[in-house]
Structure 1
Amino acid sequence: MRKYVSIKSTDEKIVEVILNRVDKANALNKDMLVELNEFFREIMDERYIVIIRGEGNKYFSAGADIESLYNGELNVVEIHKYFDIIEEYPHPVIAMVNGYCFGAACELIAACDLRTASSKSLFGITPAKLGLTYSIEGIERVIKLIGYSKAKLLFLTGKTITSEEALRYGLVDYVYDPDILEEETIRIARELAENAPLSLESIKRVFNLIRYQKAYDETTLTDVYNLALESRDYREGLKAFLEKRKPLYRGR
């Protein structure tokens, strides 16, 4: 039984993961991070499009739980490890930022593949204001998303930025009015779900290889490419295009 992460099935292809500590501004404590990892491990062989959001409308997440940092339950330089699984999950993950998003929560959304935000959301990365440092892996994750200069600005100043500024920085991809944020995020998820599952998996893996400049050889790349190119869905996609019809993808 999960205490801090709730799961909602939107339909057979889309699952919402809800960060649920409303009384603590959905702050990330160790139990929540462990539950998040356990869920992704459970669905690792599935083909869901995953949406991560915060419970309520005020906070996506206030970031790492300060009490957990203070008592040593959570180590600020190890938080990044809990977000690795989001990148390792083979299919797209969307962060739906439905409120304030601070500190480690900004790294969480950076680990996702796409990010939508409410026009009323605010963002900030605040370790310098709290006398903390941050892991090289976590800083790298943010740099890979928004660039060296913008990342340094956010980390050093701890400034709070609006959704529109976050959009200009590249920290989010879409900004919507709060009333339509969930509807539009689900629409994007459904668009992704209509694509060939093996193509999504192959493309995400290639992006991860490029993003982190991981060592890979020709055999590794061939395996990644063939995941899609040797599938029935590959032939179906081309055939459907030639026949001017919607493809029927089966994930094989």
Structure 2
Amino acid sequence: MTDTILYERTGHIARLVLKNPEQHNALGQEQLLAIQAHLETVRQDSQLRVLIITGWGDKTFCAGASLQQLGSGELTGDAFQETTDQIAALEIPTICAINGNVYGGGVELALSCDFRIGIVGSKLRVPAAAIGLCYPASGINRFVERLGLGAAKRMLLAAEAMSAETMHDLGFLDHLVQPAGLDEAAEKLAREIAALAPLAIKAMKHILQQAAAGNIDQDQARARADQCLQSEDLQEGFTAQREKRSPRFKGQ
């Protein structure tokens, strides 16, 4: 497996790192396959509660799909979309710690995560229209779902270059921090989420995703809510409140 994609887990928190700074952490076929393999590890790990995705270096989080491989036909947009779809479909919450500038498909990669933390001084641009590419339909849908039609038009139709402050104002960034505080902010958010009840988190993330798509399956939603009502975690939550202590959830 390539050494340009790193993965590690510590306790209930895992970290996936794009490590190809010479290419601005662009993703070719090799990198996408490695990410997909690590995502399968995430899906199979019942003890994992949060995934952090970030980039290596202090300049670029991700420049999206490798333009060289796209041009040669070695890489297709479908392979990139499959990867972002898999990230978005994870049951556990995901945090994107955007360590620098973010371009092209890197923007969608970040949008595939549940939370995004960016740094002061970073920039964003999706240059598809500037080079003659039509962004894939599923990717466009993700922009609209996450940001709304107006912001999606600014990014895709106008190929607007945006500052970190604009990213935050548009809701692309949930949190904006100084570069030196990025890792700490991501870890803090991850620890806070990991301390919550896993069954409730997974149930609500599933329902929220359906709500964003405009189609909540009421039977599924009711079943997931009932599972939480009958869980040991709920009893632990009530007990912890009575005893004025932090709960110790097991995801059961």
- Tell whether the structures are fold-level matches, with TM greater than 0.5: yes
List aligned pairs for 1:101-120, cutoff 5 A.
Answer: 101-120=102-121
Q: Secondary structure at the match of 2:51?
A: strand
Report SS of the residue matched to 2:173: coil
**Which aligned pairs between 1:41-56 and structure 2 lie closer than 5 A?**
41-46=40-45, 47-56=48-57
- How far has the Cα of 1:42 moved from its partner? 1.3
- Structure 2: stretches of 5+ with no match in the other structure: none
How far the C-alpha of 1:75 sits from its partner, in A, is 2.1
On the 8 A contact 2:94/2:114 being kept in 1, the answer is yes
Q: CA deviation at 1:215?
A: 6.3
**1:154-207: per-residue Cα shift (whole Å, max 9, x none)?**
101112111111000111100100011111110111011110111111111111
Superposition RMSD in Å: 1.5
Q: Are residues 1:152 and 2:150 paired?
A: no
Q: Say whether 1:58 aligns with 2:86.
A: no
Q: Which runs of 5+ in 1 are unaligned?
A: none
Distance 1:245 1:20 in 2: 40
% identity of equivalent residues: 28
CA distance in 1, matches of 2:2, 2:238: 43
Q: Distance in 1 between matches of 2:3 and 2:132?
A: 30
Q: CA deviation at 1:223?
A: 2.4
When residues 137 and 175 of structure 1 are mapped into structure 2, their CA distance, relative to the original with a 3 A threshold, is same
Structure 1 window deviating more from structure 2 (178-187 vs 209-218): it is 209-218
Amino acid at match of 1:159: E
Q: What is the TM-score normalised by the length of structure 1?
A: 0.94
**1:31-75 residue CA offsets vs partner (Å, 9 max, x unmatched):** 211211111111213223111011111110111111011011222
Task: Report the number of matched residues.
Answer: 250
Q: Give the aligned partner of residue 101 of structure 2.
A: 100
Quote how far apart the aligned CAs of 1:4 are.
2.5
**Contact conserved, 1:77 with 1:133, CA < 8 A, in 2?**
no
Partner of 2:201: 200
1:229 aligns with 2:229: yes
Question: Partner of 1:4 in structure 2?
Answer: 4
Counterpart check, 1:35 vs 2:34: yes
Aligned residues of 1:26 and 1:61 also touching (Cα < 8 A): yes
Using the alignment, how far apart are the partners of 2:58 and 2:196 within structure 1?
Answer: 30
- The reply on whether 1:80 has 2:81 as its aligned counterpart is yes
Tell me what 2:142 maps to: 141
Matches within 5 A, 1:123-138: 123-138=124-139
- Once superposed, which parts of structure 1, at least 4 consecutive aligned residues long, lie more than 3 Å away? none
One-letter amino acid of the structure 1 residue matched with residue 140 of structure 2? I
TM-score computed with the length of structure 2 as normaliser: 0.94
| CA-to-aligned-CA distance 1:75-122 (integer Å, 9 cap, x gap) | 235532211111221111100000110111111111101000111221
SS in 2 for 1:16: strand
